[in-house]
């Protein structure tokens, strides 16, 4: 097994030794996929290499500020007119993630697999995989540093975009010292970090917004304002076309109200059962609280199931929470 430094050198050599590359990323590309495609393209153009960039579908319009984002061909609009024998796959945990773009890979094409997913299954002739990198953009940051090329705002903006989106705006647990150091370096090249954060980090689906709206309509608080809660019924979910994942984050709204110590989301499962999510602002250990209801979790985020109808579950749980405050 070769080291990361060896993989960097091997990848560099592959790029230097060949000409005419196809650069692809995964279907429904996210910020890191688009950025990484463009970062490889930028490097290849600096090296004077021939290359094409391709995706199975369109690039999200909110990323059209990126250098040559319009040069990533959408396969169903302007497919390549030929196949390629050197293919660079970025941010794809497995080969199938490239989608239909593989039609343009020559049989037996040399694949360079550049990725950060811990689940990457190691396809490709050249593998540059770093599972503890926050983003593929972080790996490309390292790769580009091995070349003697002057960086500009275009490449810096692309790499910053990948770091920003894959760390949720430097908020996920993959936000390492290395990520922040790279971000610092990229900002020094003139990246408009604040603008990118606004554009990229706040997307929601329509069902998410709809079910958030329903939930907020049910907002209630304890008399002294230290407990707040919202609820969602199966009918709400149906009306909004919402799945469970669309509820993610809703419990933070009651928790985030100034003065609130415990925020809760009551999700009705059926007539006699409610799932309760607890979020604490710090004073109350909600893991212990959830345990008293047979649930569990962390000190600030926990959950439990209560076998009562919603209208009984709420006062019952609120009473227990208030006892702790």
- Which of these segments, 16-24, 74-82, 208-216, 270-278, binds its own copies (CB under 8 A)? 208-216
Residue 177 touches its own copies, criterion: CB under 8 A: yes
Q: Which is nearer to its own copies, 142 or 261 (CB)?
A: 261
d(CA 51, CA 256): 48
Nearest to 179 by CA among 132, 119, 117: 132
Q: How many residues bind its own copies (CB under 8 A)?
A: 52
Of the candidates 253, 266, 278, 293, which one interacts with its own copies according to CB under 8 A?
A: 253
219 binds its own copies (CB under 8 A): yes
What's the sign of the alpha-carbon dihedral 250, 62, 49, 190?
Answer: negative
Q: Does 235 bind its own copies (CB under 8 A)?
A: no
Decide: is 281 part of the binding site for its own copies (CB under 8 A): yes
Window 279 to 298, contacts with Mn ion (CB under 5 A)? none
* Residues with Cβ within 8 Å of residue 97, at least 6 apart in sequence: 26, 27, 89
Q: Which is nearer to its own copies, 219 or 308 (CB)?
A: 219
Q: Can you read off the two tokens belonging to residue 76?
A: 């169903």
Rounded Cα–Cα distance for residues 69 and 50 (Å): 17
C-alpha distance from residue 274 to each of 78, 232, 240 (Å): 51, 10, 19
- Specify the stretch interacting with its own copies by CB under 8 A; choose among 18-26, 115-123, 147-155, 175-183: 175-183
CA-closest candidate to residue 113, choices 36, 179, 5: 36
223 binds its own copies (CB under 8 A): no
Task: Name which of 26 and 210 has its Cβ closer to its own copies.
Answer: 210
The reply to whether 324 sits near its own copies by the rule CB under 8 A is no
Stretch that binds its own copies, among 4-12, 41-49, 201-209, 302-310 (CB under 8 A): 201-209
- β-partners of residue 221 are 228
């Amino acid at each position: 097994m070769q080291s990361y430094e060896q993989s960097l050198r091997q990848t560099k050599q592959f790029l230097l030794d060949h000409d005419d590359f196809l650069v692809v990323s995964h279907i429904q590309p996210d910020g890191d996929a688009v950025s990484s495609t463009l970062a490889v393209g930028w490097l290849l153009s600096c090296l004077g290499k021939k290359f094409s960039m391709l995706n199975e579908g369109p690039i999200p319009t909110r990323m059209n500020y990126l250098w040559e984002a319009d040069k990533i061909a959408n396969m169903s609009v302007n497919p390549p007119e030929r196949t390629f024998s050197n293919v660079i796959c970025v941010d794809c945990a497995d080969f199938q993630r490239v989608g239909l773009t593989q039609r343009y890979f020559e049989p037996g094409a040399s694949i360079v697999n550049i990725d950060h997913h811990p689940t990457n299954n190691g396809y490709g002739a050249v593998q540059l995989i770093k599972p503890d990198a926050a983003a593929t953009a972080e790996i490309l940051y390292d790769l580009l540093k091995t070349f003697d090329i002057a960086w500009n705002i275009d490449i810096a903006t692309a790499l910053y975009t990948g770091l920003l989106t894959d760390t949720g705006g430097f908020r996920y647990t993959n936000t390492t010292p290395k990520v922040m150091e790279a971000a610092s370096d990229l900002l020094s090249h003139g990246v408009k970090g604040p603008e990118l954060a606004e554009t990229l980090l706040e997307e929601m689906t329509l069902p998410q917004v709809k079910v958030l709206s329903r939930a907020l309509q049910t907002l209630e608080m304890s008399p002294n304002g230290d407990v707040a809660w919202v609820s969602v019924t199966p009918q709400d979910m149906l009306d909004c076309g919402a799945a469970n994942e669309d509820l993610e984050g809703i419990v933070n709204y009651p928790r985030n109200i100034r003065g609130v110590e415990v925020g809760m989301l009551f999700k009705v499962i059926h007539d006699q059962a409610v799932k309760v999510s607890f979020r604490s602002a710090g004073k109350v250990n909600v893991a212990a609280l959830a345990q008293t209801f047979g649930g569990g979790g962390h000190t600030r985020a926990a959950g439990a199931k209560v076998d009562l109808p919603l209208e009984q579950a709420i006062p019952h749980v609120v009473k227990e929470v208030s006892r702790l405050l």
